[in-house]
Amino acid sequence: MPRPYDLSSMTALICFEAAARNASFKKAAQEMNVTPAAVSHQIKALETDLGCNLFLRRSRGVELTEKGAFLFIAIQRGFETISEAVTQIRDRPETVDVTVRTTTAVSSLWLTPKISAFWKIHPAITVSQIVSDVPGMTGRCDLSIHYGNPQENGVEYRKLFQDRIVALGTPAFAAEHGINNVEDLLKAPLIHTSNEETDWTTWPDWFLSLGRPLPKGRSFYVNNYMIALQAAQDDVGAVLGWDGLVDSVIREGRLIQLVADSIPSPVAFYLKIHPRATSKSRLFADWLVKSA
C-alpha cells in the first residue's frame, strides 16, 4: 500500500529543522541531546535522499542553500501547524500566567533578556513564549510582538521601540571589500532577509532613503533574521541591523557598524494586547513598554 505522504525520514527532517534554525550542527545536537556526528549523519542521509545539498559547510557554522531554505520554511510551517493543534488540545498548565508570541529574532535578541529581568522583580509571575516565524498563527497568547504598522481596528497596541537601521558586518569583511562609505556598500555582497511575518525593511529601501541607487553587488537571500546575522558573522555579506534589537551583537563585537550613515526605521516594534490578556499579562505589558 503506498504511503499517503511523500516524506523522508522524520528523524532526519527533525535534525534538519534544528540545524537550520540554529545555523549549527553543534547547537542542534545540544538541543536534541545527541552528538554532532549523529546530526551530520542524519542530514547527509536526507541530502542523499533528496539528491541535493541543503547546507553549505563553513568553518564557523553552516548556511542554508536555496533548496535548503525552501525546505526549512516548509518544515517550519508544518511543525507550527502541529504545535498549534497540540496546544489547542493539551490542557494548558495553570502555572503559566503570561504567554507572549514573537519571532525567533526578537525572542533571542531582545525579549528573553527582558523576561529574565522581569522575573527578578516579579518572581511569582511566570512568562511563557510562543516563538514562531510563521505568519498568522497566534495560538492562545496574551501578548504578541510585531514589526510594522498595526492593521487591526479595535485592538489594543503599545509601541515598544523604533530603532535606527545601520549596515553591519565584520571588520574582516570591511577590510576585504574596502568599505568606508555607502558607495562602497553598493558594490559589496549583501545579505537580504525575506520573511512574510516580519516584513523587514530591505536593502533597496535603505539605499533609497539615503538617496542612493539600487545595489549592484552579489546578493544572498535568507528567510530568517538570525540566519542572516550568522551569515554576516561568517563574512558572507553585510546585513541590515536595527540598532536597539542587535545591541548585544554590536556590544560583543560580533558585528560592527560598517558606515556612519543610517536611517530611522520607518515603522516600530509594537506590542499587541489580545482580548484574553489577564491582569498579570497587563502588568508585564506595562513593564515591558517602560523598559523598552
Question: What is the DSSP track for 147-165?
Answer: ES----TT-EEEEEE--EE
Distance CA 3, CA 11 (A): 17
Please indicate, yes or no, whether residues 79 and 120 belong to a single structural domain of this protein. no
Please indicate, yes or no, whether residues 29 and 103 belong to a single structural domain of this protein. no
Nine-digit cell at 59?
568553518
- Residue 5 covered by a domain: no
Number of domains in the chain: 3
- Residue 259 covered by a domain: yes
Please indicate, yes or no, whether residues 249 and 175 belong to a single structural domain of this protein. yes
Of 88, 109, 138, the residue at which a domain comes to its end is 88
pTM above 0.85, yes or no: no
Nine-digit cell at 79?
511543525
Kind of pairing, strands 127-131 and 143-147?
unpaired
Please indicate, yes or no, whether residues 281 and 151 belong to a single structural domain of this protein. yes
Please indicate, yes or no, whether residues 51 and 66 belong to a single structural domain of this protein. yes
Class of residue 182 by CB neighbours under 10 A (exposed 0-12, middle 13-18, buried 19+): middle
Of 66, 88, 110, the residue at which a domain comes to its end is 88
Tell me what percent of the residues of the chain surpass a pLDDT of 90: 60
Please indicate, yes or no, whether residues 215 and 278 belong to a single structural domain of this protein. no
- Residue 2 covered by a domain: no
Distance CA 146, CA 198 (A): 7
Please indicate, yes or no, whether residues 158 and 273 belong to a single structural domain of this protein. yes
Please indicate, yes or no, whether residues 21 and 81 belong to a single structural domain of this protein. yes
pLDDT at 176: 95
Nine-digit cell at 166?
545601520
Please indicate, yes or no, whether residues 177 and 234 belong to a single structural domain of this protein. yes
Query: CA Rg, the chain, in Å?
Result: 20
- Residue 48 covered by a domain: yes
Per-residue pLDDT band for 212 (boundaries 50, 70, 90) equals very high
Phi/psi of residue 162, each to 5°? -135, 105
**Sign, CA torsion 211/216/222/227:** negative
Nine-digit cell at 38?
549523529
When the pLDDT of each residue in the chain is averaged and rounded to a whole number, the result is 88
CB–CB of 214/151 below 8 Å? no
Please indicate, yes or no, whether residues 123 and 143 belong to a single structural domain of this protein. yes
Q: Which domain holds residue 226?
A: 164-264
Using the 8-state DSSP alphabet, how is residue 109 labeled? I
pLDDT at 223: 80
pLDDT at 254: 93
Please indicate, yes or no, whether residues 246 and 283 belong to a single structural domain of this protein. no
- Residue 64 covered by a domain: yes
Please indicate, yes or no, whether residues 140 and 281 belong to a single structural domain of this protein. yes
CB–CB of 101/281 below 8 Å? no
Q: What is the CATH number of the domain that holds 130?
A: 3.40.190.10
Residues 237-265: what's their mean pLDDT? 94
Of 54, 88, 122, the residue at which a domain comes to its end is 88
